Amino acid sequence: DTHHVQGIDFDERHVWVTSVDKAQRKGYLQEFSIATGEHLRTVDVAEGDRFHPGGISADGEFLWVPVAEYRRDSSSVIQKRSVRTLELQCEFDVADHIGCIAIALGFLIGANWDSRDFYVWDRTGRLLRKVPNPTANAYQDIKFVDGRLVASGLLPGRNGAIDWLDYPSLRLIRRVTVGQTSRGVPYTSEGMAIRGDRILLLPEDSPSRLFQFSFVAPAFQLKK
């Protein structure tokens, strides 16, 4: 059980999920067992008009969670939360709707509504640069892996795709197109996380189903 799913990340034992309840103006960060799917805990991450959490990233010790107003060109707060307790450690404000975030060594990469622009900050929230998205993919969840940005989203026509982008140029290196779930939802509609050769996708709202794929380099063929 979730609400309108936004982002996911995971480690060896846990899956973390963000979702939004627009009617109740609530945003949630949930933790589940990766082995059994058992719900372990939920925290409300909303802050006033900012109740729309986005794509998240975990760095082993902390979870980075963008929470925005539910409208384009609005405002957000980037929350840093403890993986152990889910408690808020610190946060910084951004004058845009940030829909997803990736943690890298020494810096953060965020993207706004439909990822029209990328933002790069240091870990204190100081803006380092802002870069237009060089692709037509409306990224919903992003991760920084092995020096590259891995970003999943929807192409024009609502076709799903996962892209590998060079950093810092953000040049498109590879693209894997994906199909749809049995409910007709593109696999990359919402949450995506990648570790090693495992890709987890959480495209559907409640009741949400978690899909696990593996990819084989260098062709990056997805195998369910």
pLDDT digits (tens, 9 = 90+) for 39-79: 999 999 999 999 999 999 999 999 999 999 999 999 999 99
pLDDT at 193 over 70: yes
What is the residue-wise DSSP string for 193-206? EEETTEEEEE---S
Q: How far is CA 207 from CA 45, 97, 116, 183, 204, in A?
A: 21, 26, 30, 11, 7
Average pLDDT over residues 105-117: 96
112 bridge partner residues: 98
What's the pLDDT band for 215 if we cut at 50, 70, 90?
confident
Report the chain's mean pLDDT, rounded to a whole number: 95
32, with CB counted inside 10 A (0-12, 13-18, 19+), is buried
Question: What are the structure tokens assigned to 178, written together?
Answer: 């994906």
pLDDT for 139 equals 98
**In angstroms, how far is the first alpha carbon of the chain from the final one?**
23
User: Can you tell me the distance from the alpha carbon of 156 to that of 163, in angstroms, rounded to the nearest whole number?
Assistant: 14
- Residue 200's pLDDT is 97
pLDDT beyond 60 at 219: no
Where residue 223 falls among pLDDT bands split at 50, 70, 90?
low
The answer for residues whose C-beta is within 8 angstroms of residue 105's C-beta and 6 or more apart is none
Residue with tokens 């810092």: 168
Dist CA 51 CA 28 (whole Å): 8
The 10s digit of each residue's pLDDT in 17-39 is 999 999 999 999 999 999 999 99
Question: Residue 4: is its pLDDT beyond 70?
Answer: yes
Q: How many CA atoms lie within 13 A of 79 on its CB side?
A: 28
Q: Between β-strands 50-53 and 39-44, what pairing exists: parallel, antiparallel or unpaired?
A: unpaired
pLDDT (0 to 100) of residue 222: 60
Digit-coded pLDDT (tens) for 127-178: 999 999 999 999 999 999 999 999 999 999 999 999 999 999 999 999 999 9
Task: Report the pLDDT value the prediction gives residue 64, as an integer from 0 to 100.
Answer: 98
pTM above 0.85, yes or no: yes
